[in-house]
Structures are given as structure tokens and as C-alpha cells.
Amino acid sequence: MSSPIKLDWSKVDRPQAIFQAFSSRRSVVYGTKGVVSSSQPLATEAGLEVLRQGGNAADAAVATSTALNVTEPSCCGIGGDAFCLFYDASTKTVKALNGSGRSPAKLTMEYARSRGFLGRIPMTDLISVTVPGAAAAWVGTVTNFGSGKLSVAEVLAPAIRLAENGLIKNASPNGHEMLLNGKAPLPGQVIKMPTLAQTFRELATYGKDGFYKGRVAQAIVDLIQSQGGVMELADLENHDTQFVEPISYKYGGEVTVYEVSATDTEWYITDPDIEHVPVKELLNKEYLAARAKLFDPSKTNPEIIHVRILEKKRESS
């Protein structure tokens, strides 16, 4: 019988971590070269492939995101928006990217009311569709935050390969997510997405213009206008990703929290180029203290509503 292993606790950094309790069955993952995490193994492998080729975290994030568009299209898609916080180790600063699209220029309150929409525009109506921002955000992330060692085409290569060659459908209780020839795919069946692969190839070849001009842009406009929408080619051509300074707040005097968007976004969500977003007021300690009072640790409260503290301040000033 071998002798028991003895630990010299004086040489162990943070010994309390050895006895750390895990809230799940998955153990902590450590890495010396890099770590990629996503909800789908093939997407994670796409990010790892880019890291192995010399890419950095930004390159890997785009590779993973575009691969998720293929493997989990209901989770991540080129028709949506994208946001990014990037820590630059060389300057020790955090930078932000706002990849959200705007509403069509011709979408007015009068037009919405003429369609019979009062109060809210239904999410199921195509006039609610904004310009997709993800494609430009992916390109912008690689060109502005990437390693510079890999082109956009090289970063998108894993996703293109997955879309062209297909992936094996895993067993899932949500078999209605995708249909092949009108039927749900079976476990083990290979799913190919050649049209998505072609869109990725055009984005890889022509950059942002491959999505916001030409064939893809025209297809988007044709579909939306066929259902009463007012989006035009100019809306897509004029779209641009915004590189901004992230909102930061020092929590507890020790930890700095960075966010791309402000609190109470359901109320204050808007185009910051058109409407003022009171960021400083939203991060004011008085306002945050008032919001904290709404929290009751003994029960959930799904009906928390917006508190008009800021408006009251303005009215009284």
C-alpha cells in the first residue's frame, strides 16, 4: 500500500479553494492557453480552432457566435444584434461595441397607428423588425479588437464549414425547432444550411457590404416590404456599428462593473443619437438606493415597474 500524500499547506495558494463547494455537477475548468465556453460543443470547438491559429479572445468570440448561428439558430443569429465588451490587456482598459440596428427611417407613429397598432407594435409584425446589427458587429469586432493575425474570412471559416457540410442533430425534446422537408429531423441526421453558408461567405469576402448591400440586403427588404414593412435599402446601407466607452460603476468600493446598456432598459431603451438616455442619473446613488428598496428577499416580484424618480427631479427643478 502506498503512503498517503502529504500537503504542505504553507505552499498552497488560497487553500480554501480546494474545498470549494460547487453548485453544479460540473467542475471548474482551467487553461493555460485559453478557454472557450458556449452552449454547443461544435461552436466551442470553432472558437478553439481560431485560438489555435493565433487568434485572440475577440476572434474566438466571433467564431463561436457565428458557429452558434448554425448549430443553435434560435439562440444566436445573423438577423439579430450583437454587443461586446473587450478588455485590452495592453492598455488595461475596457472598450465597448454597440451593434444594435435602428428602426427604418420611414417607420413613424402615424404609420403604425394607420396599421391599427396602438400602444405597442406586435413582435409578430414585420414593421417591428429593425436593421440587423450582428453582421457588422462581427466584422467590427474582428477588425477593431481582433489579433490582426486572422482575416474575417478565416474567423468565419469554421461556421461556413459547419453550414456547408452539416452537423448531426442531437436528440432534443424540441424537435419542432427545425424541419427538413416538412418533417422534424431525427437524431443522427445531418443538417446542412447552404444558404446561410453563402451569406457567411459574402460577409467574409466583402466585409460589411456583403450583408448590407447587394443580394442579402435586397432579400431582407423584399421580405419586409411584402408584409407591409417600410424598411428600405438605404436603412441597411446607412447602418454602422458604434464603438463607445462602456458604462462603469464601482461596486462596494472594490469591484468595477462594466455594462454596455443602462439599468431600466425596458423604459429607457431608445436610439441614443436621437433621445437622451440619463446614464449618470441612472447610476446616481440616490436612485439606486430607491431601486434597491423594491427588492424583497422573501418573495419574487415580477411586477416591478419603472420608478419616475428622474422625471420627478426634472419636474421640481
Tens of pLDDT, residues 117-153: 888 888 888 899 999 999 999 999 999 999 999 999 9
Cβ(81)–Cβ(99) below 8 Å: yes
The model's pTM: 0.75
Region 313-317 average pLDDT? 44
pLDDT of residue 188: 77
Q: To the nearest whole number, what is the mean pLDDT of the chain?
A: 81
pLDDT of residue 147: 96
Cβ(182)–Cβ(193) below 8 Å: no
Region 183-200 average pLDDT? 82
Range in 82-91, 218-227, 278-287 the model is least confident about? 278-287
pLDDT of residue 122: 86
Range in 139-153, 271-285, 301-315 the model is least confident about? 301-315
For CA atoms 169, 170, 174, 175, the dihedral sign is: positive
Region 158-167 average pLDDT? 88
pLDDT of residue 174: 38
| CA 262 vs CA 82, 235, 281: distances in Å | 16, 26, 10
The Cα 303–Cα 306 span in angstroms is 10
